[in-house]
Amino acid sequence: MQAFEKALHDTTTQDMIGDLIGTAIGVLGAYQQFEQGLPYCEGVISSDFSRVKTAMEVLEDPFQNMAMMTGNLKKYESELKEDVLTAGFFLKTEQYEKFGEQIGNLVKVVTEKEA
């Protein structure tokens, strides 16, 4: 969360991109903890986790995928700051489900592979 909160106050897009990649990597750590409990939950959850697993595989090797992740964020640079501010608002107003959706969208953008 520290990287995301820092991104809220970054004055340059380059700094924000670095902090958002840090946020996405933090999401990987949370996912890895979640994944340990996944076998117990799979009987209850009907969602398809294939896109989530693909995203986490990209984040597991950030150095190899850094150029792709940075390129993805630069591609959406014009929308980036507004999305970060929106997520920050949801975090500050304790709307954690909406905040989670925003962070999920960020991870989706960061890990998007060319078709």
**Is a pLDDT exceeding 70 seen at residue 115?**
no
The torsion angles phi and psi of 99, rounded to 5 degrees, stand at -60, -45
pLDDT, position 42? 54
Who contacts 112 (Cβ-Cβ below 8 Å, separation ≥6)?
A: 72
The rounded distance, in Å, linking the Cα atoms of 113 and 115 is: 6
The rounded distance, in Å, linking the Cα atoms of 20 and 84 is: 9
Find the mean pLDDT for residues 57-67: 88
22 vs 42: which has the higher pLDDT: 22
Closest CA to 70 of 19, 1, 11: 19
What's the half-sphere exposure (Cβ side, CA atoms, 13 Å) at 24? Answer: 31
Residue 91 confidence class, pLDDT cut points 50, 70, 90: confident
